[in-house]
Amino acid sequence: MRWPMRVEWWACPAAASLCTALAVLVFPECVTAEELVVSLWGTSMIGAPYAVAMENGYFKQAGISITGIVGGSGGGNVVRAVLANPLPYGEVATPAAIAARQQGLPIVAVNGGVLAADNVWVTLPSSKVTAIKDLVGKRIAYTTPKSISEAFLRAVLKINSIEPQSLTLVAAGGISEGLTMLDSAAVDAALTVEPIHTIRKNKYKDLFAVRDILSPVLSNVGITTREFAARHPEIIRAIIEGRRQGVEFVYGHPQEAGRILARAYHMPEEICIEAVAAMVKARYWVAGEFDVELLNNLADALRATGALSGDVNWGELMDVSMLPPDLKAKGSH
């Protein structure tokens, strides 16, 4: 697994090579010009702490320079993006992390991410679908196979005694793709999340919100490979710390965080400010701790739909060694 050290020097190539070699030996924790992988970057609120941490220099203060984000449409696609990235760290859907571990992929969860506070399925205002029971015989979109949206959708159907075979579940490929299908009547309902939900609040009508039906779950986790965690724990600690400071800033300064997110996502400020305020109220982001109760709630939902059998060995999936002491204590692992 490669770990490129990209340091820019004004000196000659020979001097640059020598200085880079010395930097690796003397300052192994100093990393520059790297990208992280974040599920649904540009289309969901998952990315807000990362946008803040990059703009406010929190990653640099922690010892790593993160210059960009590699997005992903959800599910296993994001896990594969993490494994293919030079810096193998990313925030992914928890079900995708569980599935990857069960498939023998060498990943480990190193921090908690977000709760499922913004997942809402919507329909067109003219639609005759006004309640969950009306979905029978209809087509409903989620993002990708093994994504958190598929798990939520199947769990909601189960709670409402609706057999998945009684309707058509459509893997749209992403949130924007699902809404495009809804606009063209290719599906009857589709998933939206913040800030898209706020942007299009006058275009669609809400069918159901996951937070109103399911118990709270830790829907996303930060992952890396076991090899990278063993070789570069200081880098993972720096990422966790930079993100944590981003989370704290979002809660402490939601309006400014909304403006930062607007710049990162190229969206109107008022939209992002409203969306951040809604997610602050819902306590959407966690600082990085693992709450096993929230993880077990997710496992229950997955088992209820047949997406998971048996118990999850959270000790095998998680490595809490790179969390700061207070977050280790805060989690109920």
- pLDDT tens-digit profile of 25-81? 333 344 445 999 999 899 899 999 999 999 999 999 999 999 999 998 777 889 999
Domain boundaries, the chain: 13-116+217-330, 120-212
Q: Which CATH code is given to the segment(s) 13-116+217-330?
A: 3.40.190.10
Please indicate, yes or no, whether the overall pTM of this predicted structure exceeds 0.85: no
Could you tell me which residues come within 8 angstroms of residue 123 by beta carbon, excluding any fewer than 6 positions away? 129, 130, 182, 188, 189, 204, 205, 207
**CB-count exposure of residue 157 (10 Å: 0-12, 13-18, 19+):** buried
Mean pLDDT by 10 residues, the chain (333 residues): 32 35 37 80 94 98 95 84 96 92 94 95 97 97 85 91 96 93 98 94 96 93 97 98 98 98 96 97 96 92 79 92 92 57
Q: Which CATH class is domain 120-212?
A: alpha beta
Please check whether the two domains, 13-116+217-330 and 120-212, share a CATH topology: yes
